[in-house]
Amino acid sequence: MNLFGQSLLEGAGDRLLKSLSAPLQNWLVAHPVAQWLVMHPLWLLGLVVMAIALLIGLFGAIGRLTENIWLRLFRVPLWLLAAVFGSGLKLARLLAQTSAQKASEPEPENATQRLCLILARLDELRDEEAALLSEVKGLLGQTTLQSGRENRSYSDETSGETETISDEIRAQMD
């Protein structure tokens, strides 16, 4: 090639380079942060690596979240089955215990036997109430409580007095 052709090609290359770099230079002038990053490539490399690490962490968190959602969705039918069968088993146990208790207790054949059973149970309850009241007396170290009336005695015959006595005990404890 001759010297004239060579200078013509060099001029064309310069013009092509200027036409491609001019918009890029204008953009870098308009965005000073990008210009600073272009001028400091190590900082740019560090920021790119940090951005990639953050994106990987973000995608990992999204993946774990979706995995947990799918696992929970697949477990819901199993939980429902367990709840249904679990409550069914509890009901069956309760019915079995009730029937076993009824089988162990003799059924009274007439009203007098039933009345005897009720009276025996009331006697047991009265004895238990008397034992609890004596324990309360021992704990408080008193045989009578006075609140408005003098020397009220503990009677096992009425439940109204037992309720007022327990109210008086609570008031003393406060």
How far apart are alpha carbons 129 and 109 in whole angstroms?
30
Residue whose tokens read 């704990």: 139
Q: What average pLDDT score do residues 67-96 get? A: 84
Residue that wins the pLDDT comparison between 78 and 108 = 78
pTM (2 decimals)? Answer: 0.36
Q: What average pLDDT score do residues 101-114 get? A: 69
Question: Do 168 and 147 meet the contact criterion of CB atoms below 8 Å apart?
Answer: yes
* Sequence-separated (6 or more) residues with CB below 8 Å from residue 29: 35
Question: Do 172 and 140 meet the contact criterion of CB atoms below 8 Å apart?
Answer: yes
Domain spans of the chain, in order of start: 11-105, 108-174
pLDDT tens-digit series, residues 25-44: 999 899 999 899 889 999 99
Whether 113 shows a pLDDT value over 50: the answer reads yes
User: What single-letter amino acid sits at 52?
Assistant: I
What is the pLDDT, as a whole number, of residue 62?
A: 97
Residue that wins the pLDDT comparison between 99 and 115 = 115
Whether 10 shows a pLDDT value over 80: the answer reads no
* Sequence-separated (6 or more) residues with CB below 8 Å from residue 113: none
- Tokens for 71? 């696992």
- Identify the burial level of 154 via C-beta atoms within 10 angstroms of its C-beta, where 0-12 means exposed, 13-18 middle and 19 or more buried: middle
Across all residues in the chain, what is the average pLDDT?
78
What is the pLDDT, as a whole number, of residue 147?
A: 46
End-to-end CA distance of the chain: 116
% of the chain surpassing 70 pLDDT: 70
* Sequence-separated (6 or more) residues with CB below 8 Å from residue 27: 34
pLDDT tens-digit series, residues 39-73: 999 999 999 999 999 999 999 999 999 999 999 99
Q: What average pLDDT score do residues 70-81 get? A: 89
Q: How many CB atoms lie within 10 A of CB 34?
A: 13
Residue that wins the pLDDT comparison between 64 and 1 = 64
* Sequence-separated (6 or more) residues with CB below 8 Å from residue 47: 37
